[in-house]
Amino acid sequence: MSDQYQPTPESELRVRYNDITRGVYFIGTTPPKTSTPIEDVEGIADRLVERIRDLAIDGLIVYDIQDEASRTNKPRPFPFKSTHDPRHYSSLLNKKTDRPVITYKSVVQSETEAFDEWLNEAWDEYRVRDMVLVGSPSAKNDVSLPLSKAYQTLAENRNDFFTGGIMIAERHAKKGNEHERLIEKYKQGCNFFISQAIYDTQATIDILTRYAIECKEQGLKPQRIILTFSPCGSAKTLEFIEWLGVSVPEATSLRILNAENPLHESIKMCCNSLNQILDAVVEYDLPLGLNIESLTNRKEEIDGSILLYKLLRSSMDSHLAKHEFRLLKRKARANKLASA
């Protein structure tokens, strides 16, 4: 990682995403809590950068944390605490790593004019180039700016952001239409999608397969899907994962909670999950990527996320290389038949 910061006039990821034969790899994080003095935020960024210094990453992802209490009646396992502006933290990480940073933005309480101004500040003052918009966690909420209108505002903004959306396999399992949502978001300007943390392997395979087939039937180019994985080292973390709306099958939950080392068991299960997903969808030529996050600030789980990153990246690189080799052999056979 370079100490020389050169702000880019446009998104670096836009170019990298065009190569479907390679994965793209991210570390996900949240800004420090607003209770953290602003002068201490840079030190927190330095510690994160040091932790990931030896990882070959394409970039980072900075979340915009919402209070999602309206989404469920269950009490939040960890109390909600607001965070510093994601744009500020993204800017710090971009400068310190010389890597692109995807910045999440919750648009629920925004107004169109204010959001447009927020976007201009993000581009000019914080050098944000890559963004994911997040809508309301619940249909019950009063929404000032619907997500569709936010995407329209973003598309009409004077700056050329590289824009993504979120993919929720659990929503597809319930409603069966997440593939339609992804295609609609693509038409609204989304060029990539980031999943929720994956613990329900089959639900993820279902949405990826349906999306790939639907794109083929409509003659559309599938957009890159970044698969998110997060280690789980305790019952409290697992409770939080489920509170966030992540589907955790009963057998998965029992295996983690009854393991001698729950963190290591969850890492093993995440590795198995990715391999199953890749085996199921690699033939569809979906451009893929990985995002590894720790959902808590427990050192054990943070260190576990670094190990998980190394393991999952190795698996995805291997799968993609083997698939590329199969394509080359297939092309060679076709050329041989054509010249016969």
Tell whether 6 is covered by a domain.
no
The domain that holds 141 is classified in CATH as 3.20.20.220
Sequence letter at residue 332: A
Paired sense of beta strands 101-106 and 59-62, if any? parallel
Alpha helices of 219-339 — where are they, by DSSP H? 235-243, 250-257, 262-281, 299-339
Rounded-to-integer distance, Cα 125 and Cα 324, Å: 41
| Helix, strand or coil, per DSSP, at residue 164 | strand
Please state the φ and ψ torsions of residue 109, each to the nearest 5 degrees.
-100, 15
Taking residue 242's Cβ as centre, other Cβ atoms within 10 Å add up to 16
Q: With respect to residue 65, please indicate whether it lies within any of the assigned structural domains.
A: yes
DSSP state of 29: E
SS3 at position 86 = helix
Please tell me whether residue 59 adopts helix, strand or coil conformation: strand
For residues 10 and 319, give the distance between their C-alpha atoms in angstroms, rounded to a whole number: 31
d(C-alpha 21, C-alpha 19), whole Å? 6
In a domain, 8, yes or no: no
In a 3-state reduction of DSSP, which class is residue 25? strand
- Residue 114 included in any domain: yes
Tokens standing for residue 217: 């039937």
pLDDT at 140: 60
Q: At what angle do helices 201-218 and 262-281 cross, to 10 degrees?
A: 20
What pLDDT, on a 0 to 100 scale, did the predictor assign at position 2? 47
Which ranges constitute the DSSP H helices of the chain?
13-16, 38-51, 86-97, 112-124, 147-156, 169-175, 178-187, 201-218, 235-243, 250-257, 262-281, 299-339
Residue 184 falls inside a structural domain: yes
**Rounded Cα distance, 339 and 197, in Å:** 48
Cα separation, 132 vs 122, whole angstroms: 13
Flag whether 5 is in a domain: no
Termini Cα distance of the chain: 51
Residue 16: the pLDDT is 77
- How many other C-beta atoms are found inside a 10 Å radius of the C-beta of residue 247? 20
The structural domain count of the chain equals 1
Cβ(181)–Cβ(148) below 8 Å: no
Per-residue pLDDT, 8: 57
CA distance 167 to 184: 12
- Determine the Cα–Cα distance for residues 240 and 242; give it in Å rounded to an integer: 5
Strand partners, 226: 194, 289
Does residue 1 sit within a domain? no
| pLDDT tens series, the chain, 340 aa | 544 445 556 788 887 777 777 899 999 999 999 999 999 999 999 999 999 999 999 999 999 988 666 656 787 777 778 899 999 999 999 999 999 999 999 987 788 999 999 999 999 999 999 999 998 765 565 667 889 999 999 999 999 999 999 999 999 999 999 999 999 999 999 999 999 999 999 999 999 999 999 999 999 999 999 999 999 999 999 999 999 999 999 999 999 999 999 999 999 999 999 999 999 998 898 999 999 999 988 999 999 999 999 999 999 999 988 888 888 888 888 888 888 7
Cβ count near 95 (within 10 Å): 18
Residue 197's domain comprises 13-339
DSSP one-letter string for 61-79: EE------GGG-SSPPSS-
- Residue 246 inside a domain? The answer is yes
What is the C-alpha to C-alpha distance for residues 152 and 145, in angstroms, rounded to an integer?
A: 11
- Rg for the chain (alpha carbons), in Å? 20
Give the Cα separation of 34 and 41 in Å (integer): 10
